[in-house]
Structure 1
């Protein structure tokens, strides 16, 4: 549904909590075949993380 990085997810946790969600489903953060396959189900290289910012410490 949404694209982004872990920092963006962390920034939205209060919003998610306000919706009364108690869990998040995070798909694999792996390199995918194209920019359209951002959900993690078309992993191309399971040893290489996605380029989109899988690093929380930016």
Structure 2
């Protein structure tokens, strides 16, 4: 579900998903000149899937 929230955002080039400790983990390849981490967090929060960020 988190992957779908990130795919298609302007500035996000690729999203890979996996699982750790029963939670979905998404890794986004993005252009920081076009999208901020806060914008991606907002998309995940709107989708109801946000738990945290690891940079």
**TM-score surpassing 0.5?**
no
Shorter-chain TM-score: what band?
A: under 0.3
After TM superposition, the score normalised by the length of structure 1 is 0.27
**Larger helix share, 1 or 2:** 2
After TM superposition, the score normalised by the length of structure 2 is 0.28
Name the larger-Rg structure. 1
